[in-house]
Amino acid sequence: MLKFPIYLDHNATTPCDPRVVDAMIPYFTNNFGNAASRNHSFGWQAEEAVDYAREQVAKLIGADTKEIIFTSGATEADNLALKGVFEMYAGKGNHIITCNIEHRAVLDTCRHLEKEEAEITYLKVKANGLINLKELEEAIKPTTILVAIMYANNEIGTVMPIQEISVIAKKKGVLVFTDATQAVGKIPVDVNKDGIDLLAMTAHKMYGPKGIGALYVRRKNPRVKVTAQIDGGGHERGMRSGTLNVPGIVGFGKACELCMQEMGQDTKRLKALRDKLETALLKPEEAYLNGDKEHRLPHVSNISFKYVEGEGLMMGLNKEIAVSSGSACMSASLEPSYVLKALGLGDDLAHSSLRFSLGRFTTEEEIDYIIKKVTDTVKKLREMNPVNSDN
């Protein structure tokens, strides 16, 4: 039986898996110790739980446990990576290369660094949402210290060629940072195979709790260092001070373990459901898929419906279906998505786009209902649109 509203906005956040909640509960009640308290069993229990979770998180991305720095989420991890590298490697240079469809946590941090006299190159993406590798190579110069390119885009699901990006950067001795918030737990990510030096991730995008994330910082070949952005106590190898969020960390670890075990079957099932949804919604004329059809996440589809007013479309759906017209952090803005604009879409198409992001608990029955509801709503709005009726 269908339960409304149907949630199809998993790129914004995911529900906490009940198995994750079960793992966390003891650390709110009986095992409530501070992981930095070394003088009694409460602290030892908490420290042991954090160590185990660190192993679970590290294993998911092929890292060493000592390379995982816990943060409050991916936004803090992005800030720590960008600001930390900029300060630590100031003696080498001040140039950072990123791209124009990064998450605001990266773009806004780069804008901040520009005020600190950083030089930032914002690579443009092609119509499919991928960067031009030749342009990347040409942008690198002697003062370049970091290439910061997201693993997968939050709005269109496009997966960047991280391995190729890393090869280009390594040839020039430049560090590689990726915001992998949307990718980790959804598709295989391996920091060594991919040649990644720093990686940001968060639990709430992979069926874990909100308020906990991590920054991976490479320790060997090369040994990477970042300056702390939060001081006080020297926690997390001196890179991020503050009392550790033990229940959150335990939940993060459990979420990573479940993703390792179930990613393969989840991917296969969700891709089939996504393709079914997409095929049906693209059947009517003047419906367009945004982003690259091949190089993308298996659970995401971003579609624009011409001759449909975006706000009307959302209002026609939001009582029964929870979907997004852009990223969650920008949903209060009336401006069209900067990601879709970067692909070359006009305001009309950018305004009439919907992002469907499926999840672990999405059912085929829900997809069937959404196909009918969206199709009917688009048809109704087009009939009401005077621009469409003149054609």
Q: Is residue 99 flagged as an active site residue?
A: no
Place of tokens 């999405």: 362
Output the six-digit token pair for 142. Answer: 């002697």
Active-site entry in 110, 256, 259, 329? 329
Residue 213 to residue 8: CA distance in whole angstroms: 23
CB-based contacts of 240: which residues, under 8 Å, 6+ apart?
Answer: 69, 70, 71, 76, 80, 215, 228, 229, 230
Residue 388 to residue 68: CA distance in whole angstroms: 53
Residue 63 to residue 102: CA distance in whole angstroms: 24
Rg (the chain; Cα; Å)? 22
Residue 291 to residue 183: CA distance in whole angstroms: 16
**Within the chain, where are the H helices?**
18-24, 41-60, 74-88, 104-115, 133-139, 162-171, 246-281, 310-317, 338-342, 347-351, 364-384, 386-389
CB atoms within 10 A of CB 7: 20
The three-point CA angle 337-107-210 to 5° equals 85
Are the C-beta atoms of residues 98 and 122 closer than 8 Å to each other?
yes
CB-based contacts of 100: which residues, under 8 Å, 6+ apart?
Answer: 107, 122, 123, 124, 125, 338, 342
Output the six-digit token pair for 89. Answer: 């490697």
Q: Which residues are catalytic?
A: 329
